[in-house]
Amino acid sequence: DQQVKQNSPSLSVQEGRISILNCDYTNSMFDYFLWYKKYPAEGPTFLISISSIKDKNEDGRFTVFLNKSAKHLSLHIVPSQPGDSAVYFCAASDGFQKLVFGTGTRLLVSP
């Protein structure tokens, strides 16, 4: 039972354009959402998060949008850079520290 889903396994974007990564969840008890970036042979690194009481959180080039009614969140990267090429995981928590991860989306930003 996959409670957090990232339906796009890969995404290709040109440098300078916007990258939009999507994530859907099924558990209405989730109240905190996070995005992680992962390079090969490294552990995930935290990017940005959002609480369920907000619908948007912005940090530099990264913005996360949350649509609770649709149980959907998205990560926008503007402008995309080649160094952003990595696997992106969304994760969700119901408030007890444990994180439930999606399957990841591989982003490729070409020059």
Partner 1 sequence: GAVVSQHPSWVICKSGTSVKIECRSLDFQATTMFWYRQFPKQSLMLMATSNEGSKATYEQGVEKDKFLINHASLTLSTLTVTSAHPEDSSFYICSAHPRTSGSSYEQYFGPGTRLTVT
Q: Is 89 in the site for partner 1 (CB under 8 A)?
A: yes
Exposed / middle / buried, residue 32 (Cβ in 10 Å: 0-12, 13-18, 19+): middle
Q: Min. distance of Cβ 32 from partner 1 in angstroms?
A: 6
Q: Is 62 in the site for partner 1 (CB under 8 A)?
A: no
Q: How far apart are the first and last CA of the chain?
A: 38
**Whole-angstrom distance, CA of residue 99 vs CA of residue 107:** 22
> Please, which residue, 2 or 12, has the CB nearer to partner 1?
2
Chain residues binding partner 1 by CB under 8 A are 2, 4, 9, 32, 34, 36, 41-46, 49, 89, 93, 95-104
